[in-house]
Each structure stands twice: as C-alpha cells, then as structure tokens.
Amino acid sequence: MSARKSSSSGEPGIGPLACPRCALRHELDDAFCSACGMPLVYVGAEGPEYPASPARVRARKIRPEYTEGRLVRVAGGRNQAEAELIQNLLLEEGVPSILRRAAGFDVPDFLAAGPRDVLVPEAGVEPAREILLEADLAPTEGGKPPRVALVIAAVAGGGALTALIAWLLGGA
C-alpha cells in the first residue's frame, strides 16, 4: 500500500492534510502519518493554511506513542510555576502531561496557590520518570519518613525519658 493517498477530487498524491516531517499527503480521515506517525497538518497551495499558534506548536512536540492509557501521577510541584516547569521538561521530550490541584487545595480560596500533581498517560510513565530522574526532580521512594511517624517517635522518646528520670528520682 502506498503512503500517498488520493484526494476526494481524484488527483493522486494530493490531499488536504500533509505530514510536516516527511511531506506525505493524506485524506481528512487520517490523524497521523502512516509513514512516521507525526500528527498531520492542513496544507494549501503555498503550505499550511493556518499560522502556528502556541497550542499547535505545543501539540507538535507530543509523541503519539506516549498518549495511550489512563493518567498516572509522576511528580508534584509545590506551586503552579514549579509544576509548569516539570510539565515543560516532559514536553521537550515528547511526553504529554496535565496539571491537577493536589487534594485539599481544590477549593476556591486556594485556586491560585497550593501544590499541583503532574499526570501523564500510562504509556509515558517510564520515559517521564527517566526524564525527571535526570533532572533530579523525581520523587524518591522510601526517602524521608512521614512527618506523623517522626512526631510519634519524638513523643514516645520524650515519654520514655521522663519515665526514666522519674524512676531514678523516686528510687533515691
């Protein structure tokens, strides 16, 4: 099967969509190039019909093989700016991502502040984690103990020390 498609006008090799990478023409019912997998763009006699908007430029960077599956949390930012930095690092490698407010910060009083979760499709989880590890932004597994465990340990240690001192003073 030839990668070149015929248009609805019957002219071979000419279609309303083209691949920006390999320049093969396709019909309107195609979304990705059959040769290289890139998303297709509209073309006219002199080239693309629409100017490249920021959203279109962003969409061109996404690799189609990383778009499948349910969304999985791969990282988090302490605020919107930090989460957008992580999101842009992933986008530069072709991994799509979205931001979500962390639990507890989705009320109107906290809309502009608070931590954000960075979510990617399942197919992009491994590449995203590798990118974040290289940038030293990945969450570490088994790193710091939870804050609650530290508080409990401190209270138990203080209680034991108090009991020891009381026993020593009471026996003298």
CA atoms within 13 A on the CB side of 164: 6
Buried b (16+ CB within 10 A) or exposed e, 6-36: ebeeeeeeebbbbbbeeebbbeeebeebbee
Residue 104 dihedral angles phi and psi, to the nearest 5°: 90, -15
Per the DSSP assignment, residues forming a β-bridge with 120 are: 72
pLDDT tens readout for residues 2-30: 444 444 443 444 568 888 777 788 888 88
Q: Which domains does the chain have, with CATH numbers?
A: 17-56 (no CATH), 64-134 (3.30.70)
pLDDT tens readout for residues 146-162: 567 778 888 899 999 99
Q: Mean of the pLDDT values across residues 49-67?
A: 77
